[in-house]
Structure 1
Amino acid sequence: MGQFDGQVAYITGIARGQGRNHALRFAKEGAAVIGMDIADRVADHMTYPPATSDDLAETVRLVEEAGGKILARQGDTRDLAFQQQLVADGVAQFGRLDHVIANAGILTWGLTWELTEEQFTDVVDVNLVGTWKTLKATIPAMLEAGNGGSIVIISSCAGMKAMPAQASYSASKFGLRGLAQTAAKELGPEKIRVNTVHPYAVNTPMGVEDPEGLKAFQKWGRHFPSIMDHYPVASVDDLTDAVFYLSTAAAVTGSEFQIDMGATKV
């Protein structure tokens, strides 16, 4: 028996990294997965490798290889109609919706006054507005199912402690805290819990394969250290462990769960 037998999870950004790991582990624990990813370059100003349609196909293959059920489509979190249709089709196929993991996001680098308009608005639109659209698309299905459930929003330690050269990213991730707090208060009476997770560096292309991130660390390193020098980068399993805990912790809502090696305390 699995921890999530008979349940259904909606996960954004599943093509690789954290999202793929969440999808695979939910499937291994018995949940059907409804997933999406843009699986393409979101913006020209991204300086780390983008996910691809092949990555998304590999996630589907891995989930099915593990015996899981999955409905996955390529699309943009900023496209509300796309998300609403995917949710409707997923619920029609699997019968319910229990968990939402709002994982999709992008990062760009630059000084506050030197960022282009696109660098600021693209990041806020994907990370904050796109997550709101994820909630707008999924919450009605959770309410209709009447099973309660859990929403986990992946923010960042940059949403707890603003970082230099990350004005748009930090603003979007701070914004997710407010969004989550509001939703937690609204959905408490419906037995739906809403929490945020705040990672520091994670072993994904965004986390470790961005040359601009390395430059920022070299220039403003005093703002980026963690407490755990022996464990500088979290694994994707570290993040899924946190998501699993929050998805099952009946007494936890409105929390801000930091998987940051102590970085927000430095």
Structure 2
Amino acid sequence: MTGRLAGKTAFITGVARGIGRAQAVRFAEEGAAIVGVDICGPVESVQVPASTPEDIDETVRLVEERGGHIVTDTVDVRDLDALRTAADRGADRFGGLDIVCATAGITSREYAVDMTESMWQTMLDVNLTGVWNTCAAAIPHLIRSGGGSVVLVSSIAGLRGLLGVAHYTAAKHGVVGLMRSLAIDVASHGIRVNCVHPTNVDTPLIQNDVVRSAFRPDLSRPPTRDEFAESAMRMNLLPVPWVDPVDVANASLFLASDEARYITSASLPVDAGATQR
């Protein structure tokens, strides 16, 4: 621990597992207190395994194991009132908020002309409106704190098109537009707003039969991890199939820290070169 976030408090959505958990742990290692939320349950139209209460308990354990402090709530990012309550409670507990990570998100797959209206709308409600909700709930606390950093988790799909995920791509492009305008809106308050753009990340959102099978339509059965990796590696310039959650957390940490004090309205790819393909 080097204390890069000492004395600060971070509000993180999607904290039960994956990138959100990695952000919570990594930020705690650098001295931040954590206010974490997650739905801890299924979302309609999503086939990949849902996060659970046990997942968020494990995040708490990992943060506390590192000497960090954390409070959590079970919240759906589509519920603005619940997000405001969680942010208020966390700010009261730790004396304010300084960092926001809008990380919660879902994935599903279907060709644009074949997907249902519900699938389209659910994706936008979670992956775009949920990001705005997070900002609306937490940024007033950053204003009261005299400034801070907002990190929005987009995707390489926020910078390029991808097959079979038009709804996801539209939402992630929307996050970039939100970031660029929001950075202007809050700059006078000393608040910076940036995006990170991961390629595939080694989390339950990709490590499941639904996503693996989409990458290997040549197989009549769900691919193994190694078979999935062989196909996924073709997305990236560097010879890796995916990045680890901590890689995205480290980029988020940089943007949240004073090392990035003059960086705002920026898109930071953590993509192993995927956006150059």
TM-score class normalised by the smaller sequence: over 0.9
TM-score (norm 1): 0.94
Deviation at 1:217, TM superposition (A): 2.6
Tell whether 2:230 aligns with 1:213: no
CA RMSD of aligned residues (A): 1.6
**Runs of at least 5 residues in structure 1 that lack an aligned partner in the other structure:** none
Deviation at 1:141, TM superposition (A): 0.8
Deviation at 1:213, TM superposition (A): 2.4
2:116 and 2:48 map into 1 onto residues whose CA distance is 18
CA contact (8 A) 2:26 2:246 kept: no
1:143 and 1:57 map into 2 onto residues whose CA distance is 30
Match of 1:122 in 2: 122
Deviation at 1:33, TM superposition (A): 0.5
1:242 and 1:132 map into 2 onto residues whose CA distance is 21
Match of 2:37 in 1: 36
Deviation at 1:50, TM superposition (A): 1.2
Q: Find the residue that maps to 1:203 and give its secondary structure.
A: coil
Tell whether 2:267 aligns with 1:256: yes
2:14 and 2:172 map into 1 onto residues whose CA distance is 16
2:246 and 2:175 map into 1 onto residues whose CA distance is 22
**Runs of at least 5 residues in structure 2 that lack an aligned partner in the other structure:** 219-230
Query: Which whole-Å deviations, capped at 9, do the CAs of 1:229-264 have from their partners, x for residues lacking one?
Result: x22210111111100111120121111111111111
Amino acid at match of 1:244: L
Q: Find the residue that maps to 1:196 and give its secondary structure.
A: strand
Query: Which whole-Å deviations, capped at 9, do the CAs of 1:152-194 have from their partners, x for residues lacking one?
Result: 0000001111111101100100000000001111111211100
CA contact (8 A) 2:26 2:253 kept: no
1:111 and 1:219 map into 2 onto residues whose CA distance is 14
Q: Which runs of 4+ in 1 moved over 4 A?
A: 219-222
TM-score (norm 2): 0.90
Tell whether 2:237 aligns with 1:227: yes
Q: Find the residue that maps to 1:207 and give its secondary structure.
A: coil
Amino acid at match of 1:77: V
- Higher mean Cα deviation, 165-174 or 65-74? 65-74
Match of 1:193 in 2: 192
Match of 2:247 in 1: 238
Alignment map for 1:114-153 (pairs within 5 Å) = 114-146=114-146, 148-153=147-152
Q: Kindly tell me the number of residue pairs found equivalent between the two proteins.
A: 261
Match of 2:227 in 1: none
Deviation at 1:47, TM superposition (A): 2.5
1:21 and 1:214 map into 2 onto residues whose CA distance is 22
Tell whether 2:32 aligns with 1:24: no
1:67 and 1:101 map into 2 onto residues whose CA distance is 21
CA contact (8 A) 1:201 1:208 kept: no
1:54 and 1:208 map into 2 onto residues whose CA distance is 19
Match of 1:10 in 2: 11
Deviation at 1:12, TM superposition (A): 0.2
Match of 1:183 in 2: 182
1:53 and 1:118 map into 2 onto residues whose CA distance is 26
Amino acid at match of 1:8: T
Q: Find the residue that maps to 2:235 and give its secondary structure.
A: coil
Amino acid at match of 1:261: A
Amino acid at match of 1:51: S
CA contact (8 A) 2:255 2:263 kept: yes
Amino acid at match of 1:226: N
Tell whether 2:116 aligns with 1:105: no
